[in-house]
Structure 1
């Protein structure tokens, strides 16, 4: 019988909220969410499928999200390495020497950082809807926002529909809970793409939880600031990754189009790349969470025994 445990762990003086679903002795998977997303960004269906498949699952609120501590970024800026240190602290807090690391979006970059710089902590790596951690999307975004043609030597920018949404969203009020939920729900609708149905109830539950659990919503911007810091440690070659790696990417991702996932897989030796037909940059389409969980379990089953 799986048990559920909530635990605060410490990372460099910060308290991070974590939870663990486990049966004693099961292999552990660490779920690392994306930018400004607390633990509920990992859908309950996905977590349940992993646990039912013989894993213990750990997820957590990043710093500056949810129940974890918030940071004055101007006074104490951090980078991807700081977020990776948080992931290590979560493993330490739960007494895990290593885990199967599954990261989505920014979480996929954190997983890459760990696989390169802390290989002993990563049994396998699954990177979802992300690209190479050493790639800067800034120039492609700047060209797109200026109405210039994409640079054919660079990875593509977000879709015009998504960029137009960002411009519109900047005009929307978000001072009240209702305004915050409405604005963020529309963002997730756009991120989901246009090919698959949008699971609005699931997205609404996540957005409402994000609002209710977070004390200072302005701190969510800190992840964007950290993600833009292209420090030397992010430029380390991904060819150093030895953990068996699965790269999953939606064919309709409007934020990081499909070539981002392909580029990541091309840099990691012997990695497996799987396209998810119709998936955008979210899990909020019916059936997607369990489909992703099934692919993760298949990947782990090829490289590690599952009970």
Structure 2
């Protein structure tokens, strides 16, 4: 299989597809995508905006997505720590000692792990539409799925509309390419929220591209297992010394805005930027540019002060 203008690197026995773009003398930004998502989910305009702002950008496909290897999870289970190790393997392959790490959703969890456990590799941290590293989402999900009221002391569970969508999707199934692309597009519509305009054509294009690039369209489901709580995630986020930016939307149906507020409060000196109308995705005209400008501004501030 062609490397598609990128290269293959190794993280232990796992082969990962990765790509670096931009001037290698510019500050490196590692983009880390979320659950079951390959690097094609990073909008081209976001990458182009970072390049224009004077960054070099490194992207890669998580294990079990895109052109990277699939894993027999039952035989060789992995965790967030292993996925963080993949990030380090990518940086090592390009000779990058430390980088600004930018993670969306599960990617934000991975980047928090790096900032806690490998601070020497993290120049700056940007966590987008994610939740605190030590927050176990399973109890809140179980209560919500059982129709129980949320635990008053816990962060909010996913929105009912999103949970209803997941239940309906599980019942309808569908295994053809057209079925899978349609299902993914509808999922992005629900994740997007109901405030900002939804770019259905772009969501469909990216869903089709993702399906066609994946070695196994089902292997990304392993990320839900990898994301389960482990002891190395039960850490005090006040240990994070890297300058941190938290970006969160007001309409996120997976991690309500309270997740971003909590995360920013737990990390010393973290800055919070709440994006009105943003849900759990970037499929709205102008939204990738908005997020890119927030990231680029954070990178510039860190580089200037550091």
On whether the aligned pair clears a TM of 0.5, the verdict is yes
**In 1, Cα distance between the equivalents of 2:113 and 2:300?**
23
Name the CA distance, whole Å, in 2 between partners of 1:131 and 1:142: 17
Counterpart position of 1:65: 65
> Are 2:22 and 1:22 aligned?
yes
Cα distance between partner residues in 1 of 2:300 and 2:10: 32
- For residues 55 and 224 of structure 1, what CA distance do their matches in structure 2 show? 31
TM-fit CA distance, 1:144: 1.0
**8 Å CA contact 1:162, 1:191 repeated in 2:** yes
> For 1:142 and 1:116, how far apart are their aligned partners in 2?
28
58-67 vs 168-177, which moves further: 168-177
How far the C-alpha of 1:173 sits from its partner, in A, is 2.8
Cα deviation code 1:8-30 (max 9, x no counterpart)? 11001111001111113111000
Looking at structure 2, the residues matched to 187 and 29 of structure 1 have their Cα atoms a distance apart, in angstroms, of 28
- TM-score normalised over the length of structure 1: 0.96
Whether the aligned pair in 1 keeps the contact of 2:132 and 2:262 (CA below 8 Å) is: yes
Following superposition, the deviation at residue 231 of structure 1 comes to 1.2
Mapping for residues 33-112 of structure 1, pairs under 5 Å: 33-112=33-112
Measured against aligned partners, the alpha-carbon deviations of 1:166-191 in whole angstroms (never above 9, x if no partner) come to 01000123311000001111000000
Answer whether contact 1:5 1:21 (CA < 8 A) is retained.
no
1:283 maps to what in 2? Answer: 282
8 Å Cα contact 1:248-1:273 kept in structure 2: yes
Cα distance in 2, alignment partners of residues 120 and 208 from structure 1 = 38
SS, match of residue 17 in structure 1: strand
Long gaps (5+) in structure 1: none
1:248 aligns with 2:224: no
Aligned to 2:142: 142
TM norm structure 2: 0.97
Q: Distance in 1 between matches of 2:106 and 2:173?
A: 26
Instruction: Choose 134-143 or 182-191, whichever is displaced more.
Output: 134-143
- Structure 1 residue 5 displacement after superposition: 5.3
Q: Are the counterparts in 2 of residues 5 and 20 from structure 1 also a CA contact under 8 Å?
A: no
Number of matched pairs: 302
1:120-167 deviation line (CA, Å, top 9, x unaligned): 100000000001111111111111111111111000001110000001
Write the deviation string for residues 189-229 of structure 1: whole angstroms up to 9, x where unpaired.
0000000010112211211111000121121110000101x
Secondary structure at 1:170 match in 2: helix
Residue deviations 1:107-128 (CA, integer Å, cap 9, x gap): 0000000000000100000000
